[in-house]
Amino acid sequence: MPAFRGHTIHRARHHFGWNNAFEPVLVAKSGDTIRFECLDAGCGHYHPESTSADIASMPEGKVNPVTGPVFVEGAEPGDALKVTIREFVPSGFGWTAIIPGFGLLADQFDEPRLHLWHYDKAAREPALFSDFARVPLKPFAGTVGVAPAEPGTHSIIPPRHVGGNLDIRDLAEGTVLYLPVDVKGALFSIGDTHAAQGDGEVCGTAVESAMDAEVTVEVVKGATPASPRFTTPGPSSRHLDGLGYEVTTGVGPDLMRNARDAVSRMVDFLSRDRGICPEDAYMLCSVCGDLRISEIVDAPNWVVSFHFPRIVLT
């Protein structure tokens, strides 16, 4: 791999939350390529010897650190910040957790549980969950965005119209992301990197993994989108279609209830038919299964489906 010759921002230059008063750690020109050293969502709290007991000692307010912010010259409100995601350099270590009080089925899973991952960071081959599951990897940034116009510090957890904790697995290598610029210089930050995640991230965590992210930032004058939009370089299925899917559904007038039902039924199916304990099934659903709205026009009931790739269990 050739040596990187652009700007590099060290992982120590991170922050929590969004605030347009944060001092930039770098002033970049439109068109510059920057390498960000990104921490995982736990800010380095978890390590190869960690256990489920360490979930309780995770410091409050130290989640989803993002590296930055970067002031981009020429960026003004009304512009778009074009972010071309060029490369991720994974660390080879990650974690997934059931965190009490967090996740789509938090009321059903109230005990902490931690799973550690070790994967081939060069070949990026499927990571072994246990002797029954191998999860294909797709590195991406869970949190990426710019500062909002509203003053003060805003929580890092919910996504916003300027980006943030989007948790969209397709913000991967080759994707071009457009963010609305709210403040002068945009103040771009990125972090919360994941090695793999399903659409929905249903247990609240993915394969959380520190890694470097290389992006190019460009200003597109007068092109602000109402919210983030992006273009992918190709299919987004991660080639998990080879053996088809097991699919459960939730049907009713409430999309959130339907989503919960679809996931809960998949956990039940994996436990009953595959002999996977419910906690492991829930975490697997989070890192490789996909929630989809299948129907939203046939009032009064809508359909949410949950797709679990069979290839993971071979």
**Domains delineated in the chain:** 7-231 (2.60.120.580), 245-313 (3.10.28.20)
Instruction: Kindly give the residue spans of alpha helices, DSSP state H, lying in the chain.
Output: 255-274, 278-288
Q: What is the DSSP letter of 201?
A: -
The mean predicted confidence, pLDDT, of the chain is 95
Whether residue 236 has pLDDT greater than 80: no
As to burial, measured by CB atoms within 10 angstroms (0-12 exposed, 13-18 middle, 19+ buried), residue 257 is middle
pLDDT at 4: 67
Asked whether the bond before 59 is cis by omega within 30 degrees of 0, the reply is no
* Encoded amino acid at 13, one letter: R
Q: Which pLDDT belongs to residue 240?
A: 84
Whole-prediction pTM:
0.95
pLDDT band at 60 (very low <50, low <70, confident <90, very high): confident
- Cα 242 to the center of its chain, rounded Å: 24
Q: Which tokens in the block code for residue 87?
A: 């490369």
- Which pLDDT value is given to residue 123? 74
For residue 49, CA distances in Å to 55, 90, 253, 293 come to 13, 19, 45, 39
R_g of the chain, CA atoms, integer Å: 19
Q: Each residue of 213-227: pLDDT tens digit?
A: 999 999 999 999 999
At 179-204, the pLDDT tens digits run 999 999 999 999 999 999 999 999 99
